[in-house]
Structure 1
Amino acid sequence: MLKPFYLGFVAVILILTSSNAYGLEIDVSVDRNPVIVNESFNLTVTADEDLPRWAFSSRPLMRDFVVGATSIDTSSVTSQGVTRRTTRWTVRLTAREPGRYTIPSFDIEGAQTQPIEIEVIEVQRNQNGENRPFFIEGTVSEASPYVQQQVTYTVDLFIHSDIPLENGTIAPPLADNANVEQITQNRERQEIINGQRYQVITQVYAITPQRSGSVEVQGVQFEGIYRQPNSRGFSGFSRPEQVSLMTPNVELNVQPIPQQYQGQWFVSEQVVIERQISPASGMVAVGEPITETVTITAEGVRPEQIPELDISSPDGLRVYPETPQQEVFARRDTRIGQVTYTTVYIPSREGQFELPQINIPWFNPSADQSRQASTAAVQLTITPSASEPERISPVAETETEAEQPLDTATQPQVDTGIASIHEQGGARTSNSYLYGALAVLFIIWLVTLILLIRAKRGASRKASSDVQNTYIPNRARQPLNNLKQACNSNEPVLIMENFRAWMNARKNDQDNGKGIRAELEQHQDFKQELAALEAALYGKEKSTYTRGKAFWKTFSGAHKKAHQTDALKLYPH
């Protein structure tokens, strides 16, 4: 009883297996034949069964074609109780060279497909007004450049106005032993070709070969999605279609550096050097900064290709170069490289100085000649730090005279006063009582004046307790107080400003050009702190300044020693 049932079950299984092995139908087709070189076409493989994704492999196609994205979709249709299932693979292929190619046979779940012959032809524009919906072109500006010379690669994508593109991307060109960089973003324009209107999207790339010899540039690749208009469909509905376009590969014959060229290799279409000095007159006092700005602009290069400047200066100028600033931008589809060098010079002595001429050799590939970009030398005039006389108002002069030491400021006034009194007394009367009265009044006035001067000098010593046993006129006290506050807060800009304000406050026309800065710098500890301050302000490496208290300590010590040596030289009247 069970044996007939078992035999029937096995028979059903064999029938189903036989149907799957021998009933599977595979159809292979292309959407166009012949096809155009570097333009994509679709290969469609359709099976009448629900098959897994991995049942079809596109690997055999890679020998002759560029294989793009592969999509798969399945569908089922039920009619009169019978369900029909379908699996469809769509592969986007592109041929790089013209000729005849064969799409091989595929083995899918034991079923073999038929090979297909494909003809690939060169691009041709029809003369009757009918053109392709999409095409792409690529051109290079120079096929035989010099090593490190910029080559401009221009890509034009043509899109038919009646077939709008939904989206798309352009992959940049590739090249071994060369740098590739996009110069401009998408630029759009319109053209009429054989009576048809096209939207044209342009991209420009810069290719810079890094070695001589043959360099192959692989063309760009465009991938996009569009909808082909379908007037027969419901409400004009159409399925999205994919398109792939490529530009041909280009071979560059890169020339080596000419043997007659001298110096560091620097190839460009144009090189310009600009030099500016601040102040523009080039005249400053000892210790005042001079800022030099040198800008080098070159066409068709990156900033890294511009030769570095050798910053040098004559003795007597301390040099503080800043980090060079690099910039790159595009102008008229050409890359422009620019480097700006900023250098601060601090003169340590007076005199005439010269910043030497700047010369940069370069090679012009268009003229096939060596050139040289130059700037003239710059003359600097350094004056003493205290060469300008200080203009003091009559009130200020009176205060200064009142602050002078008693033996130098008041004694001449006593002698002059007595002589004046005797002269006046002799002219008016010989009465001894009158002379006595005048003498008493004069003594009272003199005692009062001495007491006032001593009180004022005592207040001055108390206000200047930071620098003991020194004599500081009123005009220099405020800059000193500000200098101390700036040192305590470690503010290098304010420290330098108040240090210069103090130097300007203590100078006058009796200084004979001998600035106090040079005298203070004779103390090595202060000279080192001043150099550290200048380095923090003008040096290449910017860091937090924390030596304010050390600066004030060394300054106070140098100030005290200078006063003890010669107070009038430190603060001349």
Structure 2
Amino acid sequence: MVRTYFNGLIGLVLCLLFTSRVIALEVTATVDKNPVLLDEAITLIVKATGDVDREAFQSDSLLKDFVVGNTSVSSQTQMINFDTTRTTTWRTILFPKQEGTFTIPSIEIMGERTQPIDIRVLPVPTTSTQEQRDFFVTAELDRNRVYVQQHVTYTVKLYMATNIERGSLQSPEMENGRIEQVGDDKQYSDIVNGKRFQIIERTFVLIPEQSGQFTIQAPIFSGEVLATNTRQSFGFFNRTRNITRRGPLLTLDVKPIPSSIDGAWLPSKYVEITESWPDNKEFVVGEPITRTLTLTVEGQTEEQLPEIPQIYPPSVKTYQDQAETKSAQQEGRILAQRIESTAIIPTQEGSMVLPGVEVPWFNVETQQIEVASIPAKTVQVNPAVGLQTSQAAPVTTLSPSLPEPEETQPLVDTSQASPSILIWQVLSGVFALLWLITLAAWWTGRTAPQQAPVKQRRNQTQRADKKALLAALKQADTAQLQPLLWQWLNDTLGQSFSSLHDALAHPEAHEIKMHYAALTASKFSPSTSTWTPDNFAQAITTLEKKLATRTTQEDGTLPSLYPAA
């Protein structure tokens, strides 16, 4: 009996649940305001009562007359007396595209349809009546007709007569173009028709990529403000209301690139190219000098700037550094710069012509092609200081000249001297000569032991200097290498050079000079350098052995069994 009653109760519950699920689906659609101003948003609310899919709502049918914004969905389930009710609600933000009367078509949800809704769209009040509204957005272009890739300045202003709890201002949108914000927002206050507004101004740059006529989707402001029509509050939280404002739709006419343009396309109102040199500009064979070219363009981004064409004569070697680009905003103008630095190393002395630099561009104001240029110039390349000195002062061989003996009268007439006097004079000369030989031998034996330690200490110092030089080479540290190389050349060549440049100009140091020039060039363009520390070290060892062999041959002594490392 109990089991029968229990089974009947379960059946009743299942019956009720099944009944609640087969209840007919009900779908309704409403809007939060009607009529609406052109810059205001409409919230379309679609409710479906029953078991429906959250993805059942589609907004494609609304795109004809409205700009569709975000859509939120929520679900709620209620059970009263075993009657389960499920309600799914979709809220979609709509912005009318133009003034007039438009119809929100019937919305289908799982076979059920809503009733159409007619919407009246009113024009935005003129400036004289804007003071009646607490919030509105304006937008303007600095020009309506441009060329492809020509910058357009788009300025948005949000006017607020009262404080907002929170809010956001979206960026504008344009088909077949890029939009970038320039600088930070500006905040200030102003009085419009007797009413004070807080204004947030934001500047964008539009860069059209294709020709044609395009509509710029205005930015949308969404925020929450305190409700002014109620005094109710919930604890510490005041009741707020949502507001949405949109700026006006603007049309941009984009013209194609003129057919007369052959080469890089650079539309602008102002283009300038300049060059700069070091303060002590002097062209010397084998010495690098840096030339810096700066291209400045108004109304372009740094990514759009072309490479600066540079041509140099075959009598120089060039090493170009990586280009530097930057952009800035000055007095409402957008300026972009491209900076290219090139190390120029002359290889021949004499007169040299540096060709001019030309950058063609299109003046959007005059509709003409212009050229920003640097004129060609003739420079004088001086020889290396060491070579100049050796050529100016040729080496001459000095041969000693002995004065011719004069005829003198002898103090003693030897023809009349006695034999005893002659014998005494001969013996005195012999004894004097023997005394001088003895004195010389004593002096040589006294100084020889002292010279050996001095020479040994000098060799130890040179080996230490060479070791430090090779360590600096391995690290490619030019700042540490220069004084060490200078000192090593002084010791190896046996001269006191006034500078490293003079030491490298010595004929015996030609190979060292070439490796040092390659090392210096590698600092400007590492990717194209063939310099290696091993080759430089080998050149140092080769020169050292060459000079040691020559010295040994001149002295007639055997070379050291263990030469200095």
**TM-score, with length taken from structure 2:** 0.72
SS at match of 1:199: strand
The Cα of 1:311 is off from its aligned counterpart by: 3.3
SS at match of 2:286: coil
SS at match of 2:126: coil
Q: Among residues 211, 214, 217, which one is paired with 2:212 in the alignment?
A: 214
The Cα of 1:46 is off from its aligned counterpart by: 5.1
Aligned position for 1:137: 138
- Are residues 492 and 284 of structure 1, via their aligned partners in 2, closer, same or farther at CA, if it must alter by over 3 Å? same
Q: Which has the higher contact order (CA 8 A, sep 6+)?
A: 1
The Cα of 1:295 is off from its aligned counterpart by: 1.4
SS at match of 1:101: strand
Q: Among residues 517, 532, 536, which one is paired with 1:551 in the alignment?
A: 536
Query: What does 1:196-345 align with in structure 2 at a 5 Å threshold?
Result: 196-211=195-210, 213-235=211-233, 237-243=238-244, 245-257=246-258, 259=260, 264-278=264-278, 280-283=279-282, 285-345=284-344
The Cα of 1:493 is off from its aligned counterpart by: 4.8
The Cα of 1:151 is off from its aligned counterpart by: 1.6
Aligned position for 1:519: 507
Structure 2 CA distance for aligned equivalents of residues 252 and 315 of structure 1? 48
Structure 2 CA distance for aligned equivalents of residues 499 and 538 of structure 1? 21
Deviations 1:503-555 (A, max 9, x none): 68967899xx99854735865xx677445423422225288x98323212123
Structure 1 CA distance for aligned equivalents of residues 179 and 551 of structure 2? 70
Query: What does 1:105-124 align with in structure 2 at a 5 Å threshold?
Result: 105-106=106-107, 113-124=114-125
Structure 1 CA distance for aligned equivalents of residues 320 and 192 of structure 2? 58
C-alpha contact 2:17 2:84 (8 A) present in aligned 1: no
SS at match of 1:174: coil
Aligned position for 1:359: 358
Code of the residue aligned with 1:184 in structure 2: it is G
Aligned position for 2:31: 30
1:534 aligned to 2:533? Answer: no
SS at match of 1:386: helix
C-alpha contact 1:103 1:115 (8 A) present in aligned 2: yes
The Cα of 1:267 is off from its aligned counterpart by: 2.1
Structure 2 CA distance for aligned equivalents of residues 539 and 48 of structure 1? 72
C-alpha contact 1:154 1:205 (8 A) present in aligned 2: yes
Code of the residue aligned with 1:123 in structure 2: it is V
- Are residues 198 and 271 of structure 1, via their aligned partners in 2, closer, same or farther at CA, if it must alter by over 3 Å? same
Structure 2 CA distance for aligned equivalents of residues 347 and 453 of structure 1? 51
Structure 2 CA distance for aligned equivalents of residues 509 and 82 of structure 1? 107
C-alpha contact 2:101 2:119 (8 A) present in aligned 1: yes
Structure 2 CA distance for aligned equivalents of residues 488 and 79 of structure 1? 87
Code of the residue aligned with 1:550 in structure 2: it is N
Aligned position for 2:394: none
SS at match of 2:157: strand
The Cα of 1:220 is off from its aligned counterpart by: 3.4
C-alpha contact 1:28 1:114 (8 A) present in aligned 2: yes
Aligned position for 1:398: none
SS at match of 2:536: helix
Structure 2 CA distance for aligned equivalents of residues 243 and 436 of structure 1? 128
1:379 aligned to 2:375? Answer: no
SS at match of 1:145: strand
Deviations 1:210-255 (A, max 9, x none): 34x3141432332522124235232493244252525414232314
C-alpha contact 1:143 1:251 (8 A) present in aligned 2: yes
Query: What does 1:345-494 align with in structure 2 at a 5 Å threshold?
Result: 345-376=344-375, 377=377, 379-386=379-386, 440=435, 444=439, 448=443, 452=447, 456=451, 460=455, 463=458, 482-494=468-480
Deviations 1:2-35 (A, max 9, x none): 9xx99xx99x96999599857x876543222222
Structure 2 CA distance for aligned equivalents of residues 254 and 294 of structure 1? 32
- Are residues 148 and 453 of structure 1, via their aligned partners in 2, closer, same or farther at CA, if it must alter by over 3 Å? farther
Structure 1 CA distance for aligned equivalents of residues 446 and 317 of structure 2? 50
SS at match of 1:124: coil
1:191 aligned to 2:177? Answer: no
Structure 1 CA distance for aligned equivalents of residues 127 and 162 of structure 2? 17
Code of the residue aligned with 1:364 in structure 2: it is N
Structure 1 CA distance for aligned equivalents of residues 382 and 46 of structure 2? 86
Code of the residue aligned with 1:222 in structure 2: it is I
- Are residues 457 and 174 of structure 1, via their aligned partners in 2, closer, same or farther at CA, if it must alter by over 3 Å? farther
- Are residues 101 and 504 of structure 1, via their aligned partners in 2, closer, same or farther at CA, if it must alter by over 3 Å? farther
C-alpha contact 1:284 1:290 (8 A) present in aligned 2: yes
C-alpha contact 2:20 2:85 (8 A) present in aligned 1: no
Aligned position for 1:394: none
Structure 1 CA distance for aligned equivalents of residues 442 and 353 of structure 2? 60
The Cα of 1:117 is off from its aligned counterpart by: 0.9
Aligned position for 2:69: 68
The Cα of 1:454 is off from its aligned counterpart by: 9.6
Structure 1 CA distance for aligned equivalents of residues 125 and 450 of structure 2? 107
The Cα of 1:168 is off from its aligned counterpart by: 0.9
SS at match of 1:550: helix
SS at match of 1:553: helix
The Cα of 1:191 is off from its aligned counterpart by: 2.7
Structure 2 CA distance for aligned equivalents of residues 312 and 563 of structure 1? 46
Structure 1 CA distance for aligned equivalents of residues 250 and 477 of structure 2? 61
C-alpha contact 1:171 1:221 (8 A) present in aligned 2: yes
C-alpha contact 1:183 1:334 (8 A) present in aligned 2: no
SS at match of 1:549: helix
Structure 1 vs Structure 2 CA RMSD: 5.1
Code of the residue aligned with 2:166 in structure 1: it is E
Code of the residue aligned with 2:319 in structure 1: it is Y
The Cα of 1:189 is off from its aligned counterpart by: 2.3
Aligned position for 1:164: 164
Structure 2 CA distance for aligned equivalents of residues 447 and 272 of structure 1? 83
- Are residues 61 and 531 of structure 1, via their aligned partners in 2, closer, same or farther at CA, if it must alter by over 3 Å? same
- Are residues 245 and 483 of structure 1, via their aligned partners in 2, closer, same or farther at CA, if it must alter by over 3 Å? same
Code of the residue aligned with 2:331 in structure 1: it is R
Structure 2 CA distance for aligned equivalents of residues 484 and 530 of structure 1? 13
Code of the residue aligned with 1:555 in structure 2: it is I
Code of the residue aligned with 2:134 in structure 1: it is P
Structure 1 CA distance for aligned equivalents of residues 225 and 187 of structure 2? 21
Aligned residues: 513
C-alpha contact 2:164 2:225 (8 A) present in aligned 1: yes
- Are residues 452 and 306 of structure 1, via their aligned partners in 2, closer, same or farther at CA, if it must alter by over 3 Å? farther
Structure 2 CA distance for aligned equivalents of residues 197 and 55 of structure 1? 46
Code of the residue aligned with 2:541 in structure 1: it is S
Structure 2 CA distance for aligned equivalents of residues 357 and 563 of structure 1? 50
Structure 1 CA distance for aligned equivalents of residues 84 and 534 of structure 2? 93
SS at match of 1:311: coil
Structure 1 CA distance for aligned equivalents of residues 38 and 289 of structure 2? 64
SS at match of 1:171: coil
